Amino acid sequence: MSAPRITLVVAVARNGVIGRDNGLAWHLRSDLQRFKALTMGKPMLMGRKTYASIGRPLPGRRTLVLTRDPAFAAEGITVVHDWAGALAAADAEELMVVGGAEIYRLALPHADRIHLTEVAGDYAGDTYFPALEPSDFRETEREVHEAGPHDESAFAFVTLDRVR
The answer to whether the beta carbons of residues 39 and 129 sit under 8 Å apart is no
Query: Cα 132–138–142 angle (5° rounding)?
Result: 100
The pLDDT score that the predictor gives to residue 1 is 65
CATH of the domain at 16: 3.40.430.10
**Residue 97 structural domain:** 5-162
The pLDDT score that the predictor gives to residue 2 is 79
pLDDT tens digits for the chain (164 residues)?
A: 678 999 999 999 999 999 999 999 999 999 999 999 999 999 999 999 999 999 999 999 999 999 999 999 999 999 999 999 999 999 999 999 999 999 999 999 999 999 999 999 999 999 999 999 989 999 999 999 999 999 999 999 999 999 98
Closest CA to 83 of 4, 161, 9, 10: 4
The pLDDT score that the predictor gives to residue 157 is 98
Q: How many domains does the chain have?
A: 1
Half-sphere exposure (CA, 13 Å, Cβ side) for 139? Answer: 10
DSSP string across 83-123:
HHHHHHHH-SSEEEE---HHHHHHHGGG-SEEEEEEESS--
Instruction: Indicate whether this model's pTM tops 0.85.
Output: yes
Closest CA to 45 of 93, 72, 79, 2: 79
The pLDDT score that the predictor gives to residue 35 is 98
